[in-house]
Chains A and B, each alone.
Chain A
């Protein structure tokens, strides 16, 4: 039982990271129906910005997080403007292929300039303490990751539900044309969505740096795909769904590596995806919609 609870704790902190990434996928999908393949790579860029602001500027973790989030918000908006906006009215497959292109571009430009080697995330930026509570080992890393993720999620909920920009986001995702008629600038709203999602991904990137201790230019691919699975699990386009899906994925993954084989933990994520898609493609929180001709 103690071991199970221990896996639960590990799963929760990993899940918090997945949830943060999944939120970006879900918001972008909700508003322009695009799987933003480059999202995981934006997270990677966030991790690097965090890394360099700690090592080169000597800033603490919070400043690094802030820098990473600002830089990635700008990057997300830029990618949307250059790559996705011209394709807004073309087929979804064309947009998806562009997203794959954007993803490869970020990965290999990073490799080109920063070499493919992995870098050790400075441990002194976040000195490790381990606490033992009722037989469970909980480190300050776990607490920091979970608390930060929850704070960011609450903040996001506030923005989406209580602010004018959030209202505009919900309106555009519900009916783009009607939103235009109500005087909402669709372009600005979409940019805002990308900025929010990318900032969350950047935070996740820094957290992954802290969690695993190393970063490399291809680190965004697998967590990105898993977070996407989390978003689909919760119901893509639905913000609370992404949070629940993220936590579920994290817990599931640590359970599989804890009790089964860690070699299979990547396959499990895809297995889950295929199962959801076959049983309930709209996800846990999704509603079924019939296809319109």
Chain B
């Protein structure tokens, strides 16, 4: 809770700005100023923001390189699609079910693998992500390799916007709590953190679960926007996509993750006709960012009003 008058004021300004953005876009959609093409990319952008911010919690703040994020997205997408399509549950219940299922998957995968470190963890999560995909491919009730088709389009701009705000608020509040300090200490030095009495495995698993749950949220929104989901969509190249956003934005910067997600979505939209070029650019981003700016665009800094204040020479 904000404590001073000034903080209340900033909270109010934030709410007004957010409400402004929301209404503006909603107005543009309602009056068809944004055509179908822009709307699709807007949805993709929102989903990418949720994915990159949530993966950033695991890769950036906790420092555990996970390459299986698309797998959790798949769990969320499938579970929520079954909820609305086969069980006729309301969309919001389906979203919650998708999140919880993905978080559960995160728990099941996290408990054994998070004992591993660094590159072993990366490979193990990659493996689990692929196992999720292969299992989905082999369940005939879920359509096998063809996936589920004919999901109703329930994802609308209010849901997308709400989900982004929800994700960012959750992550930011977590980072600024004792939980956040604990996971950052795990990233900085796991042995030292353990010495200070932090139950490192517990915090890693928790961060992993929250990240996975939010990926499930993105999956649920994805499934109910694009009608069709199939296992192939959630292969490890999708996980690499999300990784590119996190790396580009800065490992450990939420604003960086958001900006990078927007940038990558726009890039993808422009290079739609040249998928190979897009992947070559991704590859170059990964290599060049790591060589010349390993901390990413923003490093672990955030774009805050202080940054803007400094930029405009103010004393905020």
Contact = CB atoms under 8 A, between A and B. Distances in A.
Assign chain A's interface to a size class.
35 or more
B222 interface: no
Interface string A71-101: 0000000000001001100111111111011
B118 A101 contact: no
Contact of A105 (B119, B124, B127, B284): B284
Nearest to B122: A96
Interface in B103-162: 112-113, 115-116, 118-120, 122-124, 126-128, 130-131, 134-135, 137-138
Contacts of A266: 130, 134
B225 interface: no
Nearest to B237: A104
A274 B291 contact: no
Interface stretch (A106-114, A170-178, A203-211): A106-114
B137 to A, nearest CB: 7
B127 A273 contact: yes
B78 interface: no
Contacts of A128: none
Contacts of A281: 116, 120
Given A101-B282, A108-B283, A277-B120, 17 more contacts: A83-B287, A87-B291, A87-B294, A92-B118, A92-B119, A96-B65, A97-B65, A98-B290, A102-B283, A104-B283, A105-B283, A107-B279, A109-B280, A229-B127, A267-B131, A273-B123, A277-B116
B21 interface: no
A101 B283 contact: yes
B240 interface: yes
Contacts of B11: none
Interface string B225-259: 00000000000000010010001000000000000
B136 to A, nearest CB: 11
Interface string B262-292: 0000000000000011011011111100110
B191 interface: yes
Max chain A Cβ within 10 angstroms of own Cβ: one of B112, B124, B130, B290: B290
B180 to A, nearest CB: 20
B279 A100 contact: no
Contacts of B120: 232, 277, 281
A117 interface: no
Nearest to B294: A94
A51 B41 CA distance: 40
B280 A264 contact: no
Nearest to A92: B118
A274 B112 CA distance: 9
Interface of B: 63, 65, 112-113, 115-116, 118-120, 122-124, 126-128, 130-131, 134-135, 137-138, 191, 240, 243, 247, 276-277, 279-280, 282-287, 290-291, 294
Contact of A104 (B123, B137, B282): B282
A91 B252 CA distance: 15
B124 A261 contact: no
Contacts, number: 116
A1 B299 CA distance: 60
B134 A267 contact: yes
Nearest to A217: B276
Most buried by B among A83, A95, A98, A103: A98
Contacts of A100: 240, 243, 286
A93 B65 contact: yes
A75 to B, nearest CB: 15
A169 interface: no
Interface string A224-242: 0100110010000000000
Contacts of B240: 100, 104
A90 B294 CA distance: 9
A34 B287 CA distance: 15
Contact of B284 (A92, A101, A269, A277): A101
B138 A261 contact: yes
Contact of B286 (A34, A35, A97): A97
A62 interface: no
A86 B131 contact: no
B282 A97 contact: no
25 contacts: A35-B119, A93-B63, A93-B65, A93-B118, A94-B294, A97-B243, A98-B290, A100-B286, A101-B282, A104-B240, A105-B283, A108-B277, A112-B276, A116-B276, A225-B126, A225-B127, A228-B123, A261-B138, A263-B137, A267-B134, A270-B126, A270-B131, A271-B127, A274-B124, A274-B127
A278 interface: yes
Nearest to B278: A108
B280 A101 contact: no
B116 A263 contact: no
A87 B280 contact: no
Contacts of A273: 123-124, 127
Contacts of B116: 277, 281
